[in-house]
Amino acid sequence: MIVPGAIHLQARALNRQAFAPYGEVIDRAQGLAADMNDARFARYQGLARVSHATDAAAVISIAECLTPSQLPYAIRLMERHPHSSQAFIPLAQTPFYVVVAPPGEAPEADALQAFVSDGTQGINYFAGTWHMPLIALHAGQRFLVVDAEESRPNCDEFELTANVWLAS
């Protein structure tokens, strides 16, 4: 669907270099494996770094998609976590979409970038990176979430006034 006068984002394949201004791609292809547990497992160490304020604890959660999104998708809300990173790691090999904007007072619609994970890659947003809340295309799609339990507010939201669509 083409909406006249709208900004249409075309998602490109998620890769480390293109995503670097916004965070880290979590992908075992980028790490060196070391044997663990009597060499029954390979451990890919240090694929991303959790950052948070000194009084915060890193927490691990699971997010499950209850209502899937459909493309094209209207991008209306962006959020950021100014005091910590936030990682999403898919628990099944199902693609998902990521829309980001650089840190700043507010996200600029013409600065938005869209990426699609192949379903084996996760992402770790840097603290302050503007991002669209999760975009999953299948009900039941689950993600391991790693972020911080802050003692102060750590989620800013911004409603876009521009007409922005994530293309299919």
- Secondary structure letter of residue 19 according to DSSP: H
pLDDT for the residue numbered 55: 77
Is residue 90 within 8 A of residue 143, CB to CB? The reply is yes
User: Hey, what amino acid is at 79?
Assistant: E
- Please report whether residue 1 resides in a domain: no
pLDDT for the residue numbered 123: 98
CATH code, domain with 111: 2.60.120.480
pLDDT for the residue numbered 115: 98
- Please report whether residue 148 resides in a domain: yes
pLDDT for the residue numbered 22: 97
pLDDT for the residue numbered 12: 97
- Please report whether residue 129 resides in a domain: yes
User: Hey, what amino acid is at 55?
Assistant: D
- Parts of the chain with a pLDDT under 50: none
In this prediction the pTM is 0.91
pLDDT for the residue numbered 126: 96
Distance CA 101, CA 130 (A): 5
Give the chain's domain count. 1
- Please report whether residue 2 resides in a domain: no
Give the domain range for residue 51.
7-166
Q: Where are the beta strands (DSSP E) in the chain?
A: 7-9, 12-13, 23-26, 33-36, 41-44, 57-64, 73-80, 86-90, 96-101, 113-117, 122-125, 130-131, 135-136, 142-149, 156-166
- Please report whether residue 62 resides in a domain: yes
pLDDT for the residue numbered 1: 67
- Please report whether residue 45 resides in a domain: yes
Phi, psi of 111 (to 5 degrees): -100, 0
